[in-house]
Structure 1
Amino acid sequence: MYRMIAALILCFSTLTLAADDGSQLQKGNLFPRVKLDTNMGSIVVELDRASAPITTNNFLLYVDKRSYEGTIFHRVIQDFVVQGGGYDKDFNTKPVMKTIFNESGNGNKNELYTIAMARENDPHSAGRQFFFNMNDNPSLDPGRKWGYAVFGRVVEGTEVLDKIAAVETQVHPTWGWPDVPVEPVILEKATLLPQTF
């Protein structure tokens, strides 16, 4: 009897963990949209669950848990990328729920106004940080090596991204990081928009 109860609890826990990956958010919607409200304006991205399901679901999970709210765009390089999602305004590291498989071979290219996952040298180290391509960046696409997984594109607010990409940057006086905005660019809220049919 006790073994049966323990087995049922384990099974339920496993199912709960498996479902807590963002896949249940607007299940069946291959192109969910997320609105990103920043202190410089709003951006709407259309995600590509058809080509990048793991990456899209992962991003949606952070959105659903309100984990991107109050984060900064800490790396801004005009005509290259605008990167954020990993730090709060005091440069405290935000927790990573898990690292995900690199879907850079999905056919999507790192083109102007697309959104992609940031990662470390390990190709499968992407967690929560993402970036917007502010140019066509073929060097970030896969070839002989793993690339950076594109999982959507901006459908509203390209002018806001252009403003962010043009802000004055510096080497951060405490951390020594280059390309940090002098005035913080803050992601104030991230919202999964209602599905339209």
Structure 2
Amino acid sequence: MVFSPRIKLFPVFSGARRLALALLILFTAASPVYGDQSGNSDQDLPEVRVSTTEGAFNIRLRPDIAPKTVANFLQYVDEGFYDGTLFHRVIPGFMIQAGGFDQNMNRKDTHDPVENESRQTAKNLRGTIAMARTANPDSATAQFFINLVDNPHLDATRARPGYTVFGSVTDGMGAVDAIGNAETTRRNGMGDVPVKPIVVESVRRVESGQ
């Protein structure tokens, strides 16, 4: 998945972060749209609101490019699975990851993995949400990450699958960036864990017209 104790990504950074950073071998009316890659009408696309202890943001989902992934994510949303989970991995200049651990850093049980739906046309741009997974492309379950910058090294190519992008932040990117600037430490054998816990208070569908 994108980032948890056993999932690894290897982005290239300058300075101290030039070395490999673990990604995960386990497992936002007139607001700007980040990472919009379609040109499609937004009217029929589902949207969720993510409320956290650092603020709230909205995500417009893209079942037109990743139908199985969106259905999987909304199943967890409708079950209340994400309520009370943590943003357990934060790497400035890269991404923020959530959806796998409770506030005691215990891993939550999940449903079966979902098929990888990464596409060469679906890019990991700033503000997009994608599924975290292991080295196995079809291993994503509940964990997700939000790209803080454009991350082309996570995109699918003709030679390999990427990390499935299934939506983008349409409102509240400031909250996402605030999470991305959190001070981090090591905890329970994991790196890049926020010193001050950042809790997902709720993830709810946004009804049309709200």
Q: TM-score range by the shorter chain?
A: 0.7 to 0.9
Alpha-carbon displacement from aligned partner over 1:123-174 (angstroms, at most 9, x marks no partner): 00000000000110000001221100000000011000111000100121xx
Map 1:1-197 to 2 at 5 A: 30-105=44-119, 107-143=121-157, 144-172=159-187, 175-196=188-209
Distance 1:66 1:81 in 2: 23
Number of aligned residue pairs: give it: 167
Alpha-carbon displacement from aligned partner over 1:69-114 (angstroms, at most 9, x marks no partner): 0000000000101000000010111111110100012621000000
Distance 1:78 1:37 in 2: 20
Distance 1:41 1:58 in 2: 25
Distance 1:193 1:83 in 2: 22
Task: Provide the secondary structure at the position in 1 that maps to 2:126.
Answer: coil
Q: CA RMSD in A?
A: 1.3
TM-score (normalised: structure 2): 0.77
Distance 1:66 1:162 in 2: 24
Structure 1 match to 2:26 = none
Distance 2:67 2:99 in 1: 19
Distance 2:118 2:79 in 1: 25
Distance 1:106 1:193 in 2: 29
Distance 1:176 1:51 in 2: 36
Task: Provide the secondary structure at the position in 2 that maps to 1:164.
Answer: helix
Q: Identity over aligned residues, as a percent?
A: 42
Higher relative helix content: 1
1:51–1:107: 8 Å Cα contact kept in structure 2?
no
Structure 2 match to 1:18 = none
1:52–1:106: 8 Å Cα contact kept in structure 2?
no
1:75–1:180: 8 Å Cα contact kept in structure 2?
yes
1:70–1:186: 8 Å Cα contact kept in structure 2?
yes
Task: Mark the runs of 5 or more structure 1 residues left unpaired by the alignment.
Answer: 1-28
Task: Provide the secondary structure at the position in 2 that maps to 1:179.
Answer: strand
Structure 2 match to 1:24 = none
Paired AA for residue 47 in structure 1: L
Paired AA for residue 145 in structure 1: R
Task: Mark the runs of 5 or more structure 2 residues left unpaired by the alignment.
Answer: 1-42
Structure 1 segments (4+ residues) deviating >3 Å? none
1:51–1:106: 8 Å Cα contact kept in structure 2?
no
